Structure 1
């Protein structure tokens, strides 16, 4: 079956940016957007758009020659009575506005601050969704002793016979659990989570219709909702991931 992926690069929204946006002033220069767009285009897996939230991010994206979709966060309803709009909801909202007729069946979400991502990772991330049973895939890397204690982690059951021809050193496995606490995952097959996601479009539409699960709210990891819905989530292991893709605790996208 032929696939038609869409890469969505989301502009970064931090506390300072929120305050500046509320005052109507220009926020950060979003210098990573141009690099992120170039990396997405270099992956050569589908068209790329930038989900912008303010004038600065939109200007940076247009200067890079990218197609932009302007998001008004006030249009995205809260997913819970005390949980504001989520990153997943923002991506789904943008995709629906851009692709009303559902021409794109796979959605890759790449946050702006992962601008240095190797384009091979995006190409290889397509492999886990070769099975129609998989709803979502994400990147994982080896444990990093430099990572924050509360950085998201995953437990993975590896599929030994899966080959990733565009990236032979990569591995594919099924994610058993997400958590910020290593003691909840056990001592083996625990890896760093790199929050770059690939969604099957039908699964994304279902996920955003469901409220956050209790475990999701407890851990503050939206991907847990996908598991709690009984959907299959697979991981693509990239050996040098943490060297290039450092989780930034200040980055926010909702």
Structure 2
């Protein structure tokens, strides 16, 4: 699954790609497939904390001002969806860009593994994030959107994020992006057409395998 995500990130043509991990077996698998791996500490509390360490190891001179975190649980992510996370950063006030897709299968509207993005249009073709939750939100008639855990951080925003203590809502919902929102950092969201399923459960893994076989 990690190698598949690596390949999709490489095909997105967004810049140098590396896999940040704390497990030698993962690093070996990445390097066996021609990828670059960087070993990080084992005590990180979130993926973004790990990415920040990796960025400092790979780019100590801060040559890159945006760091994209593609998490390893989205093996069916499309390259154009990865690129879409960058789009909100065209707005100077945005600290973090990410993506979401409409939930079209009613089975997943109340599934807590499908994280819901609660947003409002930002007037420039994307959405401004108000909240992220595992509950079914917002209420009332209208579409629901699944947040896909890909983050394009301004380097300065990433450095600030990792210095923050885990926040109350982050700990309650088990969603790291809430740490940024609670600190007043702006997250904007691009809508994508595809629905790259997260692999959070054994059932998700079987669905992903079945979908991969049809590609």
- TM-score past 0.5 threshold: yes
For 1:217, the equivalent position in structure 2 comes to 171
Separation in structure 1 between the aligned mates of residue 178 and residue 139 of structure 2, nearest angstrom: 17
Residue pair 1:33, 1:112 contacting (<8 A) in 2 also: yes
| Cα drift, residue 160 of structure 1 | 4.8
Deviations 1:204-227 (A, max 9, x none): 110110112211111111101111
For 1:146, the equivalent position in structure 2 comes to 107
Are residues 1:182 and 2:136 paired? Answer: yes
| Cα drift, residue 116 of structure 1 | 2.0
Deviations 1:174-222 (A, max 9, x none): 1111111225x33346411111111111001101101122111111111
For 2:120, the equivalent position in structure 1 comes to 157
Query: How many matched pairs?
Result: 199
Are residues 1:110 and 2:70 paired? Answer: yes
| Cα drift, residue 233 of structure 1 | 0.4
SS in 1 for 2:62: coil
RMSD of equivalent CA atoms = 2.0
For 1:197, the equivalent position in structure 2 comes to 151
TM-score, normalising length from structure 2?
0.84
Separation in structure 2 between the aligned mates of residue 203 and residue 48 of structure 1, nearest angstrom: 20
Residue pair 2:87, 2:97 contacting (<8 A) in 1 also: no
For 1:245, the equivalent position in structure 2 comes to 197
Gaps of 5+ in 1: 1-31, 77-84, 163-171
TM-score, normalising length from structure 1?
0.72
Q: How does 1:1-254 map to 2 (within 5 A)?
A: 32-74=1-43, 76=44, 85-143=45-103, 144-147=105-108, 149-151=111-113, 152-162=115-125, 172-183=126-137, 185-187=138-140, 188=142, 190-241=144-195, 244-249=196-201
